[in-house]
């Protein structure tokens, strides 16, 4: 979903037999697949571990909030360093540190010393390290493949991550957790270490010049005609925010994403309890249940390009919001695991389409020296409401139960959809977005 899925460009279809994109791309692809496999083991295992320690929605929501605050506090700074440091080395260093953190958690879990506070601290530390990694990974791909190949390269990354993480990692998570609560975290530490070795094997890339770029003016399609660049460390932190604020489409989608993430964060904060208590998903099957998210996301990636080509990007985003509202409403009404998994898959497909179109638009318009900062700014603006949603969901879940929280999330989506459809239509923006 918008909170957890990488920003990638989705082609209308993914041709896995196309001409190879080179050694460096294969290394990056392998690192992404390895890391995603570990994430798919850790994320549901962390939720299950929290649920075994307490059934208090407020405590479980606190773990979610702990993982959402660092991107807001340090996200822009991570973008600055992603634009100033060697992105290859930065990504490898972060993965080494994350391997050590997860390995430490595995030891604590194995010795029964992992409480809710430990889980919250681990989530916060991993998220803080991830701010630099996410910004660097968003920016490094254009330096490894030709610009014309970005849609194919991103599509393959998403497909590989979905297959390794969703169809292998997620179903195994619950089974491994049932064998030993520490086992999913142990394997996750190894995947981070493997990803670090693969990333450091990439050829060195030039360190982008550190500058602050601002639009001087735009043409009648909102495209930037020129840039004024100068080295300025303090203002450089805000360069990405200024860039998206000056782009009508990027800013509009960022604000809408902030609204939807309020609902998605609340949903994710109580999802494990909703699945276990309302849908009656057995703990060993929770990872398989969450596979629906990955499957839906993969299908959304495969269709994103065709949807945009047929409808135009801005109209497509409106249709996606409407479809997600219907799917989330269905998820709130069903009381059976299979039906719940199906509606959740449809909802996740919409999230992937949304993220894919937004990323494709941004990567085609952002200067290379600003890619890290703009990517970080997109995440910060879109995720600013996430901790609020998780905190409110935890309090509401404790007071009224988790089922009303899911219904409230659907209501928030409906309001955002209404706002998107009531906004003035801009076929000009849609055409420029598709062209980008």
Q: Do the domain assignments include residue 147?
A: yes
What is the tens place of the pLDDT at every residue in 251-278? 888 888 899 999 998 998 889 889 988 9
What is the tens place of the pLDDT at every residue in 186-241? 999 999 999 999 999 887 766 555 444 444 444 444 333 433 344 344 457 788 88
Query: Do 185 and 126 meet the contact criterion of CB atoms below 8 Å apart?
Result: no
Distance CA 232, CA 218 (A): 23
Q: Do the domain assignments include residue 13?
A: no
Q: What is the pLDDT of residue 154?
A: 67
By residue range, what is the domain housing residue 152? 23-203+236-435
Going by C-alpha positions, the residue among 406, 416, 396, 408 that lies closest to residue 350 is 416
Q: Do the domain assignments include residue 126?
A: yes
Q: Do the domain assignments include residue 184?
A: yes
- CATH number of residue 297's parent domain: 1.20.1250.20
What is the count of structural domains for the chain? 1
Q: What is the pLDDT of residue 220?
A: 44
Going by C-alpha positions, the residue among 193, 199, 166, 61 that lies closest to residue 123 is 61
Using alpha carbons only, what angle is made at residue 284 by residues 281 and 289, rounded to the nearest 5 degrees? 50
Mean confidence (pLDDT) of the chain: 77
Give Cβ neighbours of residue 43 (< 8 Å, ≥ 6 apart): 4, 173, 290
Q: Do the domain assignments include residue 406?
A: yes
Q: What is the pLDDT of residue 185?
A: 92
What is the tens place of the pLDDT at every residue in 146-198? 766 666 676 677 667 777 766 677 678 878 888 898 999 999 999 999 999 99
Query: Do 295 and 179 meet the contact criterion of CB atoms below 8 Å apart?
Result: no
Is 423 or 82 the better-scoring residue by pLDDT? Answer: 82
Distance CA 124, CA 71 (A): 9
What is the tens place of the pLDDT at every residue in 110-156? 998 888 889 889 988 988 888 888 888 877 877 787 766 666 676 67
Using alpha carbons only, what angle is made at residue 383 by residues 25 and 208, rounded to the nearest 5 degrees? 40
Q: Do the domain assignments include residue 214?
A: no
Q: What is the pLDDT of residue 343?
A: 95
Q: What is the pLDDT of residue 305?
A: 65
Give Cβ neighbours of residue 246 (< 8 Å, ≥ 6 apart): 214, 215, 218, 224
Q: What is the pLDDT of residue 16?
A: 36
Q: What is the pLDDT of residue 6?
A: 33
Q: Do the domain assignments include residue 1?
A: no
What is the tens place of the pLDDT at every residue in 285-336? 887 787 787 788 778 777 776 776 677 767 888 888 999 999 999 999 999 9
What's the pTM?
Answer: 0.65
Distance CA 284, CA 175 (A): 5
Going by C-alpha positions, the residue among 270, 207, 212 that lies closest to residue 240 is 212
Q: Do the domain assignments include residue 231?
A: no
């Amino acid at each position: 979903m918008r909170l957890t899925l990488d920003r990638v460009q989705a082609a209308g279809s993914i041709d896995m037999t196309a001409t190879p994109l080179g050694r460096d791309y294969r290394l990056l692809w392998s690192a992404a697949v390895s890391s995603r496999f570990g994430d798919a083991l850790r994320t549901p295992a962390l939720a299950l571990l929290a649920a075994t320690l307490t059934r208090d929605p407020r405590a479980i929501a606190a773990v979610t909030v702990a993982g959402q605050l660092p991107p807001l506090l340090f996200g822009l700074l991570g973008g600055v360093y992603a634009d100033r440091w060697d992105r290859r080395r930065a990504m490898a260093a972060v993965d080494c540190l994350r391997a050590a953190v997860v390995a430490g958690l595995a030891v604590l879990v194995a010795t029964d010393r992992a409480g809710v506070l430990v889980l919250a601290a681990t989530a916060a530390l991993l998220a803080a390290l991830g701010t630099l990694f996410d910004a660097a990974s968003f920016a490094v791909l254009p330096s490894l493949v030709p610009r014309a190949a970005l849609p194919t390269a991103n599509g393959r990354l998403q497909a590989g991550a979905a297959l390794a993480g969703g169809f292998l990692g997620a179903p195994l998570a619950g089974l491994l957790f049932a064998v030993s609560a520490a086992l999913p975290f142990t394997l996750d530490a190894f995947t981070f270490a493997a990803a670090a070795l693969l990333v450091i094997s990439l050829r060195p890339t030039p360190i982008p010049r550190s500058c602050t770029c601002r639009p001087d003016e735009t043409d009648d399609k909102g495209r930037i005609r020129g840039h004024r660049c100068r080295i300025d460390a303090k203002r450089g932190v805000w360069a990405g925010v200024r860039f998206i604020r000056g782009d009508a489409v990027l800013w509009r989608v960022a604000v809408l994403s902030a609204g939807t993430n309020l609902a998605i964060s609340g949903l994710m904060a109580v999802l494990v309890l909703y699945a276990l208590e309302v849908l009656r998903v057995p703990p060993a099957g929770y990872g398989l249940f969450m596979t629906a998210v990955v499957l839906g996301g993969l299908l959304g990636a495969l269709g994103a390009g065709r949807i945009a080509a047929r409808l135009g990007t801005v109209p497509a985003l409106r249709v996606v919001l409407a479809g997600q509202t219907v799917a989330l409403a269905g998820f709130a009404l069903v009381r059976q695991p299979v039906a719940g998994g199906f509606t959740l898959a449809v909802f996740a497909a919409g999230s992937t389409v949304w993220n894919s179109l937004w990323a494709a638009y941004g990567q085609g318009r952002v200067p290379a020296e600003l890619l890290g900062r703009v990517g970080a700014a997109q995440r910060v603006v879109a995720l600013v409401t996430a901790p609020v949603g998780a905190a409110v969901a935890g309090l509401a879940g404790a007071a009224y139960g988790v089922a009303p929280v899911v219904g409230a999330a659907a209501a928030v989506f409906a309001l955002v959809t209404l706002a998107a459809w009531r906004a003035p239509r801009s076929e000009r923006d849609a055409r420029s977005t598709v062209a980008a």
